[in-house]
Structure formats: structure tokens, C-alpha cells
């Protein structure tokens, strides 16, 4: 084994120590660290890990905060698994040096330190753990690496109703407040499903949300807008 290969193997072992999980199928870990453009990229694992992260965070807050309503749970989940939060997790895991980039991407600038690339890699890692060890293992790793970010005390401000949080975000920038419109509802009279649209003038964004009441539908739409604002554009 060459010195470079030995160093790479040591880096993977150290990463698994930091994760608190050792892979039975190391090929899954290798794939999770392959940025798009490097053959078998981590994009499919990223897609899977995104769902697992959301489920694990949702279940955690559901258990730990029984007094929170649907809107508050949604905002907490979105905040803790957003791009910037996961990029900070990636920094703690020291992921950047372990990412494999194509030569073309490597020459295009500091891609491996971009928040979106790092966040995608964390999602891919969780997807890899899920395939390797099942949901329980992936949930355990998720809660471990999110750590104090899950704290209910940290979440006191973020769990403000999504509509209020969005309005404050816009007003702080001197931008117009959002406009909400109720769309035709569906379902039987005893179980109506409301749908609302949230539209921004600046930045020009819109999203729809659904809920068992007009208020919940508007909150769901506002939450989607917040998520778009927090994620920002992909590189």
C-alpha cells in the first residue's frame, strides 16, 4: 500500500470514529465521499440521507417537545437540517479533506469548502449508514452528529411560527411582507384539506402548503419559503 493510500485509509477510519459508526460495506462510505462528477457520485445517497435526516429530527422533536404544534415542529426540523447547519456538522467531522472531486471541479475553485457541497456530503453519509446498518443506526448517528444543535433551548427562537419568522426576515431587510392566498380546498366536508400560497415580491419566490386549517396551510407555505431562503442557490 502506498503512503497516499495508507493516509487515505487512516482518514476513513478516523471519520468512522468521529461518526461513532463503522461500516460493514466500506464501498458505501467511499461513494458518500464522491462529489458529483467523480464517477459514482454521492447524489443518490444524498437524496436518501436527506429523508432520513428529516425523519430523525422530526421524531426527536416530536418526542422532546410535546407542547409544540405542527408549525413549530416543522420550523425546528428545517432549521436543524438546513444547509448551513449541516455544513457546520461537516466541519466538525473534518469532511472537506476527504471529499473526492473530479479534476475539472478541483480546478474551478474551493468547491470542497462550499457549504452546499459539505451539507450534501453529510446527507450522503447518513444515506450510506442507513443502507449499511438500517434506520436505527442512521438515526443514532444523526442525533450524535447534530448534537447540541438539537437542543430545545437553542430552538426557542427558531420555533416561532413560520409566518412570523418569515415576516421578520423580510422586514429586517426592508423588503415587502409576504402575501397569502387561499386556494380551493379538497377532501370531504368532515376532513377538508386546505391549500394556501405564500408569495414574495423580493426575492421573487412562491410556494404552496397544505394543512387541516387555513392557518396550518399558510404556515406550511411560509416554512417552504424559509427553507428556500436558508438553502440559497446551489453551485
pLDDT in tens, 159-212: 567 888 899 889 999 999 999 999 988 776 666 788 999 999 999 999 998 887
Note if 50 is an active site residue: yes
Give pLDDT, residue 31: 94
Indicate which CATH number applies to the domain containing 173: 3.30.160.20
Among residues 46, 50, 120, 223, which one is catalytic? 50
Lowest mean pLDDT, pick from 4-13, 22-31, 103-112, 119-128? 103-112
pLDDT tens-digit map of 69-106: 877 888 888 889 988 889 999 999 999 999 988 665 55
Average pLDDT over residues 27-42: 83
The answer to whether residue 157 is domain-embedded is no
Domain enclosing residue 202, as ranges: 162-231
Residue 143 confidence (pLDDT): 97
Number of other CB atoms surrounding residue 222 within 10 Å: 26
Please indicate, yes or no, if residue 110 is contained in any of the structural domains. Answer: yes
Whole-prediction pTM value? 0.67
Query: Looking at 150, 177, 212, which one is the last position of a domain?
Result: 150
| One domain for residues 118 and 224 | no
Q: Which of 120, 123, 132, 195 is catalytic?
A: 123
- 9 & 89 share domain: yes
The CATH number for 103's domain is 1.10.1520.10
Task: Among 83, 118, 150, give the residue marking a domain's end.
Answer: 150
The pLDDT, as a whole number, for residue 234 is 46
226 is a domain residue: yes
Residue 114 and residue 108 in contact, taking contact as beta carbons nearer than 8 Å: no
Residues 105 and 176 both lie in one domain: no
Task: Pick the closest to residue 172 from 229, 114, 210 (CA basis).
Answer: 229
Asked if the structure places residue 134 within a domain, the reply is: yes
C-alpha closest to that of 25 among 5, 45, 54:
45
Amino acid at each position: 500500500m502506498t503512503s497516499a493510500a495508507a493516509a487515505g485509509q487512516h482518514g476513513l477510519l478516523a471519520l468512522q470514529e468521529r461518526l461513532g459508526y463503522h461500516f460493514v460495506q466500506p464501498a458505501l462510505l467511499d461513494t458518500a465521499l464522491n462529489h458529483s462528477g467523480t464517477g459514482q457520485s454521492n447524489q443518490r445517497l444524498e437524496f436518501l440521507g436527506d429523508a432520513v435526516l428529516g425523519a430523525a429530527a422530526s421524531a426527536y422533536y416530536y418526542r422532546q417537545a410535546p407542547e409544540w404544534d405542527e408549525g413549530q415542529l416543522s420550523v425546528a426540523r428545517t432549521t436543524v437540517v438546513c444547509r448551513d447547519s449541516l455544513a457546520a456538522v461537516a466541519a466538525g467531522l473534518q469532511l472537506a479533506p476527504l471529499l473526492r472531486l473530479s479534476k475539472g471541479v478541483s480546478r474551478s475553485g474551493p468547491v470542497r469548502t462550499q457549504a452546499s457541497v459539505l451539507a450534501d456530503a453529510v446527507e450522503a453519509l447518513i444515506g450510506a449508514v442507513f443502507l449499511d446498518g438500517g434506520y436505527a443506526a442512521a438515526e443514532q448517528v444523526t442525533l450524535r452528529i447534530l448534537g447540541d444543535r438539537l437542543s430545545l433551548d437553542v430552538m426557542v427562537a427558531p420555533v416561532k411560527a413560520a409566518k412570523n419568522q418569515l415576516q421578520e426576515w423580510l422586514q429586517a431587510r426592508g423588503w415587502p411582507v409576504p402575501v397569502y392566498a387561499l386556494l380551493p380546498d379538497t377532501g370531504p366536508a368532515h376532513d377538508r384539506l386546505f391549500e394556501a400560497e405564500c408569495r414574495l415580491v423580493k426575492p421573487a419566490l412562491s410556494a404552496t402548503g397544505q394543512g387541516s386549517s387555513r392557518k396550518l396551510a399558510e404556515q406550511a407555505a411560509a416554512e417552504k419559503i424559509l427553507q428556500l431562503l436558508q438553502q440559497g442557490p446551489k453551485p
